[in-house]
Amino acid sequence: MTAPLIDPFARAIDYLRVSVTDRCDFRCVYCMSENMTFLPKKELLTLEELDRLTSAFVRMGVRKLRITGGEPLVRKGILTFFRAMSRHLDTGALKELTLTTNGSQLTRFADELAALGVRRINVSLDTLDPDKFARITRWGRLNQVLEGLEAAKSVGLKVKINAVALKGFNEDELFPLLDWCAEEGHDLTFIEVMPMGEDMSPLRLDQYWPLKDLRARLATRFTLTDLTERTGGPARYVRVEETGQKVGFITPLTHNFCESCNRVRLTCTGELFMCLGQEDMADLRTPLRASADDSVVEQAIRAAIARKPKGHDFDYSRQRADGQVSRHMSHTGG
Ligand code: SAM
Ligand code: SF4
């Protein structure tokens, strides 16, 4: 173990999100354009390089690792990487290994993921209507995801459903989604749509369903109790007293969560984003490839953390998507 990672605002960085690919088998409208140009393969870190880099973070105090994308389960050989990370669970260096997935490949991978020590997964699902699902994901099939969720459940993986709250799209499914999650035993978190990707600000403003409105609608039917539990991220939780369910709200636009931020994001090309909502990043691929000596890349990681900004600048309050970031969500993995 080397000294832990502490940023200029005295925040300990112990959570790393790794986007292992920019590719995906879906084309969700708020995430990707239909005709995405993906990175050439040579730009990508190999699985061995991803292992080396991620392991450096674990030595420097990262305790929680979330694998994301693009769709992480479409990266060729991805189980090799999970296997490599699972050795850090075995030594106790890593407390949690998890992933965020669209669920399409879970029938293939759920049992091996569970065997490698994954306990909880986040699955993104905005609607339970097959036609709406096809519309929002462009290329996805709801049934495939539902089968994936069954597979996850059958091997004991705890599932949290992430639903992007979209005005005029899934407003009418608020209670059906909640009921379905209660029946299936899944937690549920709503996400506010964020101004990522190409400039689609008129569309985004249009679709923006503030979670304070969503929460108020929930409260017309249920008693909601705020939970103090925080994860260091933008999620806040309530308990639905009538059902005992935990419901989360990820509100980067209406709430400032930056003061307790404990995370950084690594892309599949070795860029480290110190803040989801800022353009600044550090290239870790160059130092990684420059030397087989890990102290070189460790130094680059420390220098990057020393630049972690205080917070992001997303702001819809002036009826414009201010603070917009031009990269796609699939680049940093959300
Ligand atoms: N493909 C995986 C999935 O969909 O779960 C992992 C990557 S995806 C980029 C991670 C999360 O980002 C998903 O829950 C997705 O709904 C969310 N997301 C993508 N674009 C978004 C946007 N513009 N605003 C808010 N959330 C977004
Ligand atoms: Fe793919 Fe996830 Fe983006 Fe949808 S949100 S296009 S599933 S990366």
Q: Whose CA is nearest to atom 2 of ligand 1?
A: 101
Predicted pLDDT of residue 138: 94
Which atom number of ligand 2 is nearest to the Cα of residue 333? 8
pLDDT at residue 202 above 70? no
The domain that holds 154 is classified in CATH as 3.20.20.70
List, for residues 103-154, the tens digit of each pLDDT value.
999 999 999 999 999 999 999 999 999 999 999 999 999 999 999 999 999 9
196 vs 137, residue with greater confidence:
137
Run of H or E including 88 = helix 78-91
Percent over 90 (pLDDT), the chain: 75
Q: What is the DSSP letter of 199?
A: S
How many CB atoms sit inside 10 A of residue 288's CB? Answer: 21
Pocket test for ligand 1, best of 329, 330, 331 (most atoms within 8 A of CB): 329
Q: Whose CA is nearest to atom 1 of ligand 1?
A: 71
pLDDT at residue 284 above 50? yes
CB 197 near ligand 2, within 6 Å: no
Q: Please tell me the distance between residue 123's alpha carbon and the centre of ligand 1 in angstroms.
A: 10
315 vs 306, residue with greater confidence:
306
Q: What is the mean pLDDT of residues 148-161?
A: 98
Q: Please tell me the distance between residue 35's alpha carbon and the centre of ligand 2 in angstroms.
A: 14
pLDDT at residue 257 above 90? no
Predicted pLDDT of residue 201: 43
Question: Residue 193: inside a domain, yes or no?
Answer: no
List, for residues 3-16, the tens digit of each pLDDT value.
889 999 999 999 99
Question: Residue 207: inside a domain, yes or no?
Answer: no
pLDDT at residue 199 above 80? no
CB 21 near ligand 2, within 6 Å: no
CB 99 near ligand 2, within 6 Å: no
Burial of 291 (C-beta count, 10 Å sphere; 0-12/13-18/19+): exposed
Q: Please tell me the distance between residue 228's alpha carbon and the centre of ligand 1 in angstroms.
A: 25
Percent over 70 (pLDDT), the chain: 88
Range of the domain at 328: 15-188+259-332
pLDDT at residue 326 above 70? no
Predicted pLDDT of residue 321: 47
Which atom number of ligand 1 is nearest to the Cα of residue 19? 7
CB 30 near ligand 2, within 6 Å: no
Question: Residue 76: inside a domain, yes or no?
Answer: yes
CB 191 near ligand 1, within 6 Å: yes
Which atom number of ligand 1 is nearest to the Cα of residue 194? 24
Q: Whose CA is nearest to atom 15 of ligand 1?
A: 124
Q: What is the mean pLDDT of residues 199-216?
A: 73
Question: Residue 285: inside a domain, yes or no?
Answer: yes
Question: Residue 93: inside a domain, yes or no?
Answer: yes
Question: Residue 317: inside a domain, yes or no?
Answer: yes
Predicted pLDDT of residue 315: 53
Predicted pLDDT of residue 319: 44
Locus of tokens 């905005």: 126
Q: How far apart are CA 247 and CA 306, in angstroms?
A: 34
CB 26 near ligand 2, within 6 Å: yes
Q: What is the mean pLDDT of residues 80-103?
A: 98
Q: What is the mean pLDDT of residues 284-313?
A: 94
Residues 6+ apart with CB under 8 A from 95: 63, 64, 89
CB 105 near ligand 1, within 6 Å: no
315 vs 58, residue with greater confidence:
58
201 vs 229, residue with greater confidence:
229
The total number of structural domains that make up the chain: 1
Quick one: which of 141, 139, 129, 120 has its CA closest to 66?
Answer: 120
Predicted pLDDT of residue 318: 43
Question: Residue 241: inside a domain, yes or no?
Answer: no
List, for residues 20-29, the tens digit of each pLDDT value.
999 999 999 9
Question: Residue 117: inside a domain, yes or no?
Answer: yes
Q: Please tell me the distance between residue 13's alpha carbon and the centre of ligand 1 in angstroms.
A: 22
Q: Please tell me the distance between residue 302's alpha carbon and the centre of ligand 2 in angstroms.
A: 30
In this prediction, residue 288 has a pLDDT band, given cuts at 50, 70 and 90, of very high
Q: What is the mean pLDDT of residues 282-296?
A: 97
Q: Please tell me the distance between residue 291's alpha carbon and the centre of ligand 1 in angstroms.
A: 34
Predicted pLDDT of residue 311: 83
CA distances from 266 to 50, 176, 228, 271, 325 (A): 9, 35, 29, 6, 16
Which atom number of ligand 1 is nearest to the Cα of residue 332? 9
